[in-house]
């Protein structure tokens, strides 16, 4: 049995976001940055987590269809004495372009749904600034086959 489509979509997103001009291969999926902050050699980088999901019944009956909207939380981390807001905007642009043109692991579409406020921190090995980008992926499954895209 294949992984849940959420996992397939998250894997496809990681693939699409790997190798961006600004963040390169510094992609960290499922990393708890409170417990293990990004180090100097890991920024600029992206931390990716799967967020919540809003399923809706698309059709009733034996072959009930679920229309799903999964949120993917992409947090960009940068370290710079100044100009970090411009760098974060550049990373957002690169993420949007990469996900717009990517094979989405079964999702029919992806779009930016929210951009959080910039948060800053102090310390030599911590990023100076981070910003959350929430992407929403739309996909459809049968109610009894959450691992297969329709």
Cα-based angle 12, 16, 18 (whole degrees, multiple of 5): 115
The domain defined by 5-142 folds into STM4215-like (3.30.2000)
Of 28-42, 56-70, 103-117, 121-135, the range with the lowest mean pLDDT is 121-135
What gap in Å lies between CA 113 and CA 12, rounded to an integer? 18
**48-62 pLDDT per residue, tens:** 999 999 899 988 776
pLDDT surpassing 70 at residue 35:
yes
Q: Domain coordinates of the chain in residue numbers?
A: 5-142
Residue 131 confidence (pLDDT): 97
The SS3 call for residue 63 is: coil
What gap in Å lies between CA 34 and CA 144, rounded to an integer? 37
For residues 114-131, average pLDDT = 84
pLDDT surpassing 80 at residue 125:
no
- Report the predicted TM-score, pTM, of the whole model to 2 decimal places: 0.92
What gap in Å lies between CA 6 and CA 138, rounded to an integer? 10
């Amino acid at each position: 049995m294949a992984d849940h489509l959420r996992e397939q979509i998250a894997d496809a997103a990681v693939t699409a976001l790997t190798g961006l001009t600004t963040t390169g291969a510094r992609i960290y999926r499922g990393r708890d940055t409170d417990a293990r902050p990004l180090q100097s050699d890991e920024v600029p980088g992206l931390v990716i987590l799967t967020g919540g999901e809003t399923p809706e019944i698309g059709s009733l009956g034996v072959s009930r269809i679920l229309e799903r909207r999964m949120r993917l939380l992409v947090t960009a981390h940068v370290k710079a004495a100044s100009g970090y807001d411009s760098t974060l905007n550049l990373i957002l642009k690169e993420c949007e372009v990469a996900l717009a043109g990517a094979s989405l692991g079964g999702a029919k579409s992806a779009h930016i749904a929210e951009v959080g406020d910039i948060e800053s921190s102090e310390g030599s090995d911590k990023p100076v600034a981070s910003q959350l980008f929430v992407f929403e992926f739309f996909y459809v499954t049968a109610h009894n086959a959450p691992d297969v895209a329709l």
